[in-house]
Amino acid sequence: MSGQTHQSPRPALDEFCKRFPEVEVYEHNPRRLYLSIPRERLTEACRFLHEERGMRLSICTGLDTREGFEVLYHFSEDSTGTLYNLKVVVPKDDPRLDSQAGWFPACNWIEREMHELLGIEFPGHPNMEPLLTSDTDWDPNKHPLRRDYERRAEAHGR
Amino acid sequence: MADNSRRIVPIGPFHPLQEEPEFFKLVVEGEKVVDLEIHLGYNHRGHEFISPELTYDQIPFLVERICGICSNSHPLACVLAIEDCAGVKPPPRANYIRSIIHELERIHSHLLWVGLAGHFIGYNTVWMWAWRYREDILAVFEMITGNRNHYAANKPGGVRRDISKEQVPEILAALDLVEKKTMMLTKAVLDDPVIRSRLEGVGILKKSDAIAYSTVGPTARGSGVPWDVRHDDPHCAYDEVRWDVVVAEEGDVFAKARVRLLEIFESVKIVRQCLENLPDGPIQTRIEEIPPGEGCGRTEAPRGEVFHYIRSDGSNRPLRHKVRAPSYMNIASNVVAVRDGSIADAALTLAAVDPCYCCTERMAAFEDGRQKYTWQDLLRLSWQKTEQIREKMRR
């Protein structure tokens, strides 16, 4: 565990660490926790946070890094005002992540969006239609938020 | 109407009820709505794509343009994310000014919604009253920020404009007027038997659905879920003022209307306390650099939680900037709220989450080459229903 020491008792975090011993916790500040877990345990972790601890999904963020695609599930524990950010790294040569939309409707649109913008596959999603470009002739193989997307590469050489 | 065949009634993509183009395909059997399909993306402007090409100082101006009505919420959440990433706290006076502008915005946004809801059920007086009183708040904005909308008040590390001593009595006078007029409007709306029977029991979003769809703002609070970021994760000056979270249990359109109307009074309370206790001192802190890392910023917009996430690589631009507006979660819940309702109520139910207004009117439903419904027909159906209830009550 890195970052600051615990300021107040955090039953949800303690139980999470017990159940997922492989978790890496980074406490950026007392109300912003980042929890890295392997992608195989994502469904279990999401179910724990939402169903057992009653947390609300704020949103998911997908981003393309050198190590792979990072997907963050931002869960908000509204009783304490703490954000539990679940972090999963998906390798670029196998961009697949179990879909949570089947049991948690809040994940439905954002998984469709990440599929469209980053090209991550979500097996088990009930309706994997493009969300933002469904009525356009956008090329389904172009993913604007990938680092190799040509416009950004030209603009910044990143 | 004994016609039970299924047909599709499209609402959108460009529709005066919605602030941004969305396309709702209502599947109806006779007059009953059985399903809803939602299409988005007609006006996708790619903010998340543009943002990493701008510097941290430029981004608040970009995200301000996501929504014209809640144009303070996005830049506020964005600067909170940047400050979280940099580990910087803005000076107390900046926090108070942020809260004042944020709450004034809530008042004008809620009044706008109440006006529109009045229009959709054939109460054009409610519409004109509400929008008239909203003008006073817009005048305050013009006085303190220079603009009626797109205030450009926030910057990383503080705010860009101060509130002077001379402006305080004028803001207080506007608040007194708005409070008095909203009191009258609230009584007129909540005690009117016709409005009650038009809104009660319509478009019910159950508490369990509100949680499953992770809805936010008055949509969630109207269903008995007391989520309010200002209360749960206090930022700006929200932990230094006294106010209450307004919750209603019923989940129908009336509950959402009640939550919004009563929230106006709470906002007035917050602005008054902030003006009274406005600390002296600077209004901004200088941010030397944004270190590599990440930051989350969230704030309660009039429609619900706005969430911004920033990933920094240490340069003067973010590596990734994720933006989530409240309507993203709330509109999805319409699928359950609109089901089994009447087509005369559909437009009202869809508008009840206050989806973010397009001034173009292009709705028409065709079947076998013949025009079936236009937007005017839907409005006429809704107004007829109000008239029938009114007739019944007169008898």
Q: Please report the ipTM that was assigned to this predicted complex.
A: 0.90
Q: Which of A32, A104, A132 lies closest to B44 in CB terms?
A: A132
CB B55 within 8 A of CB B123: no
Check pLDDT > 60 for residue B182. Answer: yes
Residue type, B315: S
- The C-alpha of A21 sits at a distance from chain B's nearest C-alpha, in angstroms, of 24
Helix-helix angle B124-145:B167-190, to 10 degrees: 160
Query: CB–CB of A74 and B296 under 8 A?
Result: yes
At residue A150, does pLDDT exceed 80? no
The contacts found for B222-228 with CB under 8 angstroms, 24 or more apart, are B222/B248, B222/B250, B222/B251, B222/B252, B222/B255, B222/B256, B222/B258, B222/B259, B223/B249, B223/B250, B223/B251, B223/B255, B224/B248, B224/B249, B224/B250, B224/B251, B226/A78, B227/A56, B227/A76, B227/A78, B227/B305, B228/B300
C-alpha B36/C-alpha B34 separation (Å) is 7
Residue range B210-238: average pLDDT? 93
Asked whether residue B177 carries a pLDDT value surpassing 50, the answer given is yes
CA distance B336 to B207: 12
- The minimum CA-CA distance between A31 and chain B, rounded to whole Å, is 8
Neighboring chain A residues of B229 at a CB cutoff of 8 Å: 81
Encode pLDDT of A136-147 as tens digits: 788 888 888 888
Question: And the tokens for B371?
Answer: 């025009």
Kindly determine whether residue A109 and residue B213, on different chains, have CB atoms separated by under 8 Å. Answer: no
For an interface test with A, give the residue of B320, B328, B334 to mutate (most A CBs within 10 A): B320
Which of A101-110, B16-25, B134-143 is predicted with the least confidence, judged by mean pLDDT? Answer: B16-25
Q: Please tell me whether residue A112 adopts helix, strand or coil conformation.
A: helix
* Burial label, B337 (beta-carbon count in 10 A; 0-12, 13-18, 19+): buried
- Residue B356: predicted pLDDT: 53
Pick A134's closest partner by Cβ from B41, B216, B233: B41
Lowest mean pLDDT: which of A16-20, B365-369, B373-377? B365-369
Q: Is the pLDDT of residue B371 over 60?
A: yes
* A36–B contact, CB cutoff 8 A: no
User: What are the residues facing A12 on neighbouring strands?
Assistant: none
The residue with tokens 């956008």 is A138
B242-279 tens-digit pLDDT: 999 999 999 999 999 999 999 999 999 999 999 999 99
Cβ burial A11-50 (10 Å sphere, 16+ → b, else e)? ebbeebeeebeebebbbbebbbbbbbbebebbbebbebbb
Contacts of A131 in chain B (CB under 8 A): 40-41
- Could A105 and B212 be called an inter-chain contact, meaning their C-beta atoms sit closer than 8 Å? yes
User: Mean pLDDT across the stretch B357-372?
Assistant: 50
Tell me the torsion sign for CA atoms B96, B97, B102, B104: positive
CB of A81 within 8 Å of a chain B CB? The answer is yes
Residue A141: Cβ within 10 Å count: 6
Task: Using the predicted structure, report yes or no on whether residue B134 has a pLDDT greater than 50.
Answer: yes
Q: A135 and B305: CB-CB below 8 Å?
A: no
At residue A137, the pLDDT reads 80
DSSP string for B28-47: EETTEEEEEEEE--TT---H
pLDDT at B77: 95
Interface residue A135 vs chain B (CB under 8 A): yes
For tokens 């930022």, name the residue.
Answer: B235
Contact with chain B for residue A86, Cβ under 8 A: no
Rounded distance between C-alpha atoms, residue B26 and residue B10, angstroms: 6
Q: At what angle do helices B253-276 and B343-352 cross, to 10 degrees?
A: 20
User: Looking at CA atoms only, how far is residue B29 from chain A in angstroms?
Assistant: 24
B63 touches B76 (CB < 8 A)? no
- Nearest by Cα to B51 from B325, B310, B356, B327: B310
Cβ-defined contact of B212 to A104 (cutoff 8 Å): yes
Residue B363 reports pLDDT greater than 80: no
Contact B40 A78 (CB under 8 A): no
CA distance B16 to B36: 19
- Position B245 scores a pLDDT of 94
For A144, name the nearest residue in chain B, comparing CA atoms only.
B49
As a whole number of angstroms, the distance between CA B83 and CA B85 comes to: 5
pLDDT at B249: 93
Band of the pLDDT at B367, cuts 50, 70, 90? Answer: low
Amino acid, res. A49 = L
pLDDT tens, residue by residue, B23-57: 888 888 888 889 888 887 777 778 888 898 899 99
Distance CA B90, CA B35 (A): 48
Cβ within 8 Å of residue B62, ≥6 positions away = B47, B50, B51, B54
Choice between B387 and A25, residue whose per-residue pLDDT is larger:
A25
Residue A32 contacts B, CB cutoff 8 Å: yes
